[in-house]
Chains A and B, each alone.
Chain A
């Protein structure tokens, strides 16, 4: 029960001028757990993701991360090289737009292999074999390993981004609307893929989404944000089936039932 947290944030506050993007936000994440941050545009959820991942500094509060050696590291005071090393290996970031993360002029295999090479892999054959293995895990035909991403569909690009991110076996992955902008059928496949990969590999995920259905399918726990504040948090099914805060009730009641 008292298993140590993987990521622990407390008192995060960040204002853009008069606009509060984060107000005294706390968040804990345990190994292997999926935490969804939901809310509409401008609620501060993407800002929270950026602050949790060290991309943006809060004005107050701190984010602590338990490194693989078990030591707690302050994400915002650790040296830049150490933070970048985390982002290259132990962490991953999946963007809504895969083009932000992928190198469009580099083959699929090169894209997947980059993080391995950044970690010091210097054996072409091994890197290529790992790339092919990961393409298959994300259901991309191994024959496409030498193709450029620009020949891939939107869903394939997103899966390629996931392969590129997971190749180093990160323990924590940040996802920003990973299924946004995709066709519904493509979304379903991607959700299923994310769910099974994350469960099988025991990866912890902080998932930002405005789509409550995505949160319900993937997340163990959920945080609802409005104007920079966490207005409600709890188990995903609790919050979505028994919403208490007016804003959560509005969000839940606004979802079209299929």
Chain B
């Protein structure tokens, strides 16, 4: 293990990590309930994943293998920086392979491959309060959570259906956790919501600026809000991945030229690569052709 001199394991001091772990234990005990914690200044700005990083630092051990994704990709600036941050401050092994990882920190996606009991997924959360846009008073939203008064959230869904004919929330789609707490699943696409339901892995959420943690223990019920006559439905772009041909993964739309050319590719880069290594090809595969 070659870690940076002068820093504690995983950057945060042990007292801070203990404080965060205590908050996490409480969060696990009350699925979906927001727990306040003493969020620390981190060597990157709020909004870049400080909450997620603190949670990761608190749960990381020397034997862990860390994967970091941003919008599903392992190779974006944020993902690379955070992975390197922990490689340098904790000396842990890192990977881009979902299956090989024991801790996965994520922004905006859940990997396509189902997670296992021996894995932990850590979400970076900008706004932990699902009612924040509807009820400005934080004291009032706390009371609403305490009394499980969630009619207001349905008012928002009602308004969407009235205005657009369907619920127009495409990401951070509110969920009921364990039949009790309304929870913001962080800005993952609604497409990923079903993956949270009865997930085998422990799900941890950290909001650094808002100083809140929450969690979903393994195999917990996570239900997306809906109406009986307007049931929750996932949507994805009606295409196959241009690189690996997958028809069931969440796709990014990539503009390829200034002639209006577009390419739809898996947003989960590891998923896409794994499929291509197994011989799957997309109908277009322009990048592969160019490489040949």
Encode contact with B along A102-132: 1 for CB under 8 Å, 0 otherwise.
0100110110011101110011110110000
A246 touches B (CB below 8 Å): no
Give B227 Cβ to nearest chain A Cβ, in Å: 4
Interface residues of B (CB under 8 A from A): 146-147, 149, 151-152, 154-155, 158-159, 161-163, 226-230
Verify A125–B151 contact, CB threshold 8 A.
Answer: no
- Cβ-defined contact, A114 with B155, below 8 A: yes
- Nearest-neighbour CB distance to chain A for B121, whole angstroms, equals 30
Partner of A123, one of B147, B151, B159, B228: B228
Whether A127 contacts B147 in the complex (CB less than 8 A), given A122-B227, A122-B228, comes out as no
Q: Note all chain B residues with C-beta closer than 8 A to A125.
A: 229
Contact B151 A109 (CB under 8 A): no
Cα A7 to Cα B215 in complex, Å, equals 44
- Residue of B146, B155, B227 touching A110 (CB-CB under 8 A): B155
Contacts of A81 in B (CB 8 A): 146-147
Instruction: Decide yes or no: A146 and B158 within 8 Å by CB, A81-B147, A84-B147 being known contacts.
Output: no
Contact A124 B149 (CB under 8 A): no
Cβ–Cβ contact B151 & A107, under 8 A: no
Asked if A117 and B158 sit within 8 Å, CB to CB, the answer is yes
Asked whether, in the complex, the Cβ of A110 is within 8 Å of the Cβ of B151, the reply is: no
Known A-B contacts A80-B147, A84-B149; the reply to A123 vs B158 at CB < 8 A is: no
Q: Given contacts A115-B151, A125-B229, could you give 6 more A-B pairs where the C-beta distance is less than 8 Å?
A: A80-B147, A109-B162, A110-B158, A114-B155, A122-B154, A124-B158
Bound complex: CA A119 to CA B161 (Å): 19
Cβ-defined contact, B151 with A124, below 8 A: no
- Given A118-B149, A122-B154, the answer on whether A106 and B229 have CB atoms closer than 8 Å is no
Known: A80-B147, A84-B149. A124 touches B161 (CB 8 A): yes
